[in-house]
Chains A and B, each alone.
Chain A
Amino acid sequence: MKQLILCILTALCLAGPALAEKKDTCVSCHRGLDGEMAAPVQGMPQDVHAQYGLSCADCHGGDPTQEDMEASMDPRRGYRGAPTAEQIPTFCGTCHADAATIRKFKPGLRVDQLELYWTSVHGKQHQKGDRKVAQCVSCHGVHGILPGSDPRSPVYPTNVPKTCARCHSDAGLMAGYRIPTDQFDQYKTSVHGRILLEKGVRGAPACNDCHGNHGAAPPGVSSVSNVCGQCHPVNSELLKQSPHQKPFEEMGVAACESCHGNHGVQRPTDDMLGAGEGSACTSCHERGSKGHQAAEAMRAAIDGLKARRDAAEALILRAEQAGMEVSQAKFDLNEVGNALTKARASVHAFSLARLGETVKEGEALAEGTTRKGEQAIAELQFRRKGLGVSLVIILGVAVALFFKIREVDRRRGLR
């Protein structure tokens, strides 16, 4: 008897509040089954749909109030069963592409996923009958689907690259499509990848930020600077105004990518500019050409500002280590750093005159900061000399006092 009560209580606890409210024979039967027949209900406690009160019959149809299996899974009662791979996008789209349905649960959720999917490479291939391409469950999972804001979800920002890589790094799977499979390896070592995967900064771009998610497709050559410009608008805008824009368009070269690369994009350094090793300019501009000379001049301007900033920094650091109060100078130094960043960004206009203006502003700031550092060092020297003089005077008085003490002691017979 005790065992029976315990079983009933356990069943009630596991079934959850939904079961307490209405009968759901899908859940109660499948829970008693083994293997893949039990899998659909195992994920239910965490499933985002279940949390909104949806259960098996809301997707698969049928009548969950019927005790009899045949009756509950009767097509005449709306039972649709498990969708085939072909049916999955429209199966999910039944609700997710229907604004009226979604409004009842989460009015802010977009309902254009299916529409976007048909525009994606995945969707187009799917329509052609290719069943190896990704559809909804490939990325979101099935039964036990988590909201994208859950860190365990495969579509949570930091998990997206691995989710895409499940297929795109699979050489066997990709062989038929003639696309590379090293994107994830490149991405992992890129500046974007390191920030997202190592530092966990969710704002850093993952695959979907450049390719789209439900409408995923490689950006066309002409769109690359727009794609990068989502996060780097200043650089993108400057590039559009630059003398590079027209020839890039004519040559069909992807603007940003031609210098920075794509999946493996690295943190840019000043070495990318100019004529030295690691320069991106020399891959197009031959030695002696106008472009080559402009690149060298631009690099010299950036180097000059950097050297001035470094010199001011060293001076302020020296004063600070000696205990001087240099908070204002440090604030100004920060401004010089900002000017250097601005100058580096303005390189994308590929105009020596324009860069010169920015560098000039930065140099004026650096000069003011250096002056503050020099003043601090001069004040330090003044203090040290003042201390020396004071100590000499104090020492002189102390010696005089010492002799006075000896004298009064002698007078009082204390010596």
Chain B
Amino acid sequence: MEAKTRSKVLDWLDERLQVQVALSFLAKKVVPLHRHSIWYYFGGMALFLFSVQVVTGILLLLYYRPTAEAAFESVQFIVTEVRFGWLIRSIHSWSANLMVAVLFVHMLSVFLLKAYRKPREMTWVTGVLLFFCVLGFGFSGYLLPWNTLAFFATKVGTELVNTVPVVGQPLLIFLRGGEDVTGATLTRFFGFHVAVLPMLTTLVLALHLLMVQFQGMSVPPSMQDQEDRMKKMPFFPNFLLRDALGWLVALGLLAALAAVFPWELGVKADPFAPAPAGIKPEWYFMFMFQTLKLAPSHILFLEGEMVVFLFFGLCGLGLILVPFLDARSRRGERSPLFTAVGILMILYIVTLTIVGYLVKVG
């Protein structure tokens, strides 16, 4: 009886949406099994954490008020008065940070395993764009509780845009909604955080996932010759069940973090107060922040800040273009130069982040 009903529902759906095509595609989809297969799970994990962000973000929207006068108080209300508001807010903050961490791992593993090589160039490009979107989410979301640290970190962060030649000043005005960080900036960042970035991310994410499905998982170059003989696991249900197990563990971890280490609210921002000591950005911007601090005031005839900003801008562009720059990988050859670049990149990010947290402020 149950099977009959299910078949009826499937038939009804198939007549209208051709679900059988998707189901047969899923049934045939396999995941290669080898010693690097573990890295395949990080994309799914990032997707799960992104879903958590969407759900908790929508719930926070029910109470959050994006004005300088009410933002801090509304978050305070969420964490003190709203039933389970503290949990939702803490999970949103923790999940955001875990998502960035997982994305770092996902992107760097794809980089080192050269999974961006032909024909997956566009999967890589959309992936890097997604990473930038997530950083944008992080930067815009950091300001939303309107607390002192976030206020001044945003002030410092947006100030950097000013160093860009020609377009710097107009871009700064556009970002801040005026000369300075004010309530207009908060409202603008809120707009980026809940409308612009979600729309962009949804589009790029859809493309990214479609390409992953069509092209399947990449096998590392060192094992490519054994791909035909390689053991494979059906994507559905074996791989998906494993994914689900990982998500469940992540959910438990999020719950524990939110309950044991609730995300701090801090002190309400006072635009007229002097900047407090120890202003720091979110940890994932720390390596850039530290680079800026260590850079000399002038490099050749240019301002140090401008050089660093342009350097990271070029690095970002370079990251997007990696599949087109790595000619050896494209030809299916080993590419030690890009492996070295990847390792250097990891070392640089890790070292500067640690230095950023260890070095005492002024």
A402:B252 contact, CB within 8 angstroms: no
The CA-CA distance from A414 to B255 in the complex, in Å, is 33
The number of A-B residue pairs with CB atoms under 8 Å apart is: 60
Residue in contact with A401 in the complex, picked from B86, B248, B264, CB distance below 8 Å: B248
Q: Are A387 and B259 also in contact (CB < 8 A) when A325-B86, A394-B252, A397-B248 are?
A: yes
B249:A398 contact, CB within 8 angstroms: yes
Q: What is the 8 Å Cβ interface bit string for chain B, positions 247-283, against chain A (1 contact, 0 not)?
A: 0110110011001111011000000000000000000
B80:A325 contact, CB within 8 angstroms: yes
Q: Which stretch from B158-166, B231-239, B305-313 is at the chain A interface?
A: B231-239
B347 interface hit (Cβ, 8 Å): no
Q: What is the 8 Å Cβ interface bit string for chain A, positions 386-415, against chain B (1 contact, 0 not)?
A: 110011001101100110110011001010
Determine the residue in chain A with the shortest Cβ distance to B79.
A325
Q: What is the 8 Å Cβ interface bit string for chain B, positions 341-362, against chain A (1 contact, 0 not)?
A: 0000000000000000000000
B314 interface hit (Cβ, 8 Å): no
Residue in contact with B259 in the complex, picked from A386, A404, A408, A412, CB distance below 8 Å: A386
Q: Are A409 and B238 also in contact (CB < 8 A) when A323-B260, A325-B86, A325-B262 are?
A: yes
B262:A323 contact, CB within 8 angstroms: yes
Contact residues of A: prevailing secondary structure: helix
The CA-CA distance from A405 to B237 in the complex, in Å, is 8
Q: What is the 8 Å Cβ interface bit string for chain B, positions 46-73, against chain A (1 contact, 0 not)?
A: 0000000000000000000000000000
B79:A408 contact, CB within 8 angstroms: no
User: Which chain B residues lie closer than 8 Å to A408 at the CB level?
Assistant: 237-238, 241
B242 interface hit (Cβ, 8 Å): yes
Determine the residue in chain A with the shortest Cβ distance to B262.
A323
Interface range on chain A (Cβ under 8 Å from partner): 20 to 34
B249:A383 contact, CB within 8 angstroms: no
A324 interface hit (Cβ, 8 Å): yes
Chain B's nearest CB lies how many Å from the CB of A286?
53
Contact residues of B: prevailing secondary structure: helix
Determine the residue in chain A with the shortest Cβ distance to B234.
A412
User: Which chain B residues lie closer than 8 Å to A402 at the CB level?
Assistant: 245
B256:A387 contact, CB within 8 angstroms: yes
B245:A391 contact, CB within 8 angstroms: no
A10 interface hit (Cβ, 8 Å): no
B244 interface hit (Cβ, 8 Å): yes
Interface residues of B (CB under 8 A from A): 33, 76, 79-80, 86-87, 231, 233-234, 237-238, 241-242, 244-245, 248-249, 251-252, 255-256, 259-262, 264-265
- Other 18 A-B pairs with CB < 8 A, given A323-B260, A397-B248, A404-B241: A323-B262, A325-B86, A325-B262, A325-B265, A391-B252, A391-B256, A394-B251, A394-B252, A398-B245, A401-B244, A401-B245, A402-B245, A405-B242, A408-B237, A412-B233, A414-B231, A414-B233, A414-B238
Q: 4 tightest CB-CB pairs across the interface, nearest first?
A: A387-B259, A323-B262, A394-B252, A405-B241
